Amino acid sequence: QLIEESGEPMPELVYDYGKTDVRDKEASAIITALEKAGITVTPNAIDPGAYYGIVLDPDKQGALNWAGWGPDWLNASTVIPPLFTPSGGFPLSRYDNPEFTQKVDEALLITDRAEQGQAWAELNKEAMAEALVVPTRFGKDQLIWGSKVGGAYIWAPYASWGYVDLYVEQ
């Protein structure tokens, strides 16, 4: 509806993803869903070893691409700046909004945790309103460890081991 109201033609998009059996199935589901909205999507399966070298290059990147991200610690400062600012380090969205970036820079300087949390929440709302990321699925793994492994627990930010605390019991 928004595209129709804009007066612009319905877009034809290229979807980049690393070629694996699972990603092929995901791409098929994404393309089928977008076609139901009248959007034509051409899949671009890329060798996984070359994938990020291509999609992190704005001259080679398609309009849509697959990526995963996990925070370095439980704070939006490890998600919003890297993904949604030009100098963030992983800017697949190619979002370059100076006003948004200024707010991110200001949020990074806030030391009061409650105030900081509110600033990140507002920035998250802005990012979602712009559809900078379209979540498609959340993968979940089952992890087990042996009876002689001590200090094992699942650290939520990584959904993996707390590696620093692991040890082998004698």
How far CA 34 is from CA of 98, 100, 138, in Å, comes to: 30, 28, 19
Q: Name the residue with tokens 């707010």.
A: 103
The SS3 call for residue 138 is coil
The SS3 call for residue 145 is coil
Helix 113-129 and helix 98-109, axial crossing angle in degrees, nearest 10 = 160
**Residue 4 contacts by C-beta under 8 Å, 6 or more apart in sequence?**
none
Q: In the chain, which stretches have pLDDT less than 50?
A: none
Looking at residue 138, its pLDDT comes to 63
Distance (Å, whole) CA 16 – CA 31: 11
Helix (H) / strand (E) containing 127? helix 113-129
Q: Is the pTM of this model over 0.75?
A: no
Q: Of how many residues is the chain composed?
A: 170
Q: Which amino acid is at 156?
A: A
pLDDT in tens, 28-68: 999 999 999 889 999 999 999 999 999 999 999 999 999 88
Q: Does residue 83 contact residue 90 with C-beta atoms inside 8 Å? A: yes
Distance (Å, whole) CA 109 – CA 70: 22
Q: Dihedral sign for Cα 50, 52, 57, 63, please.
A: positive
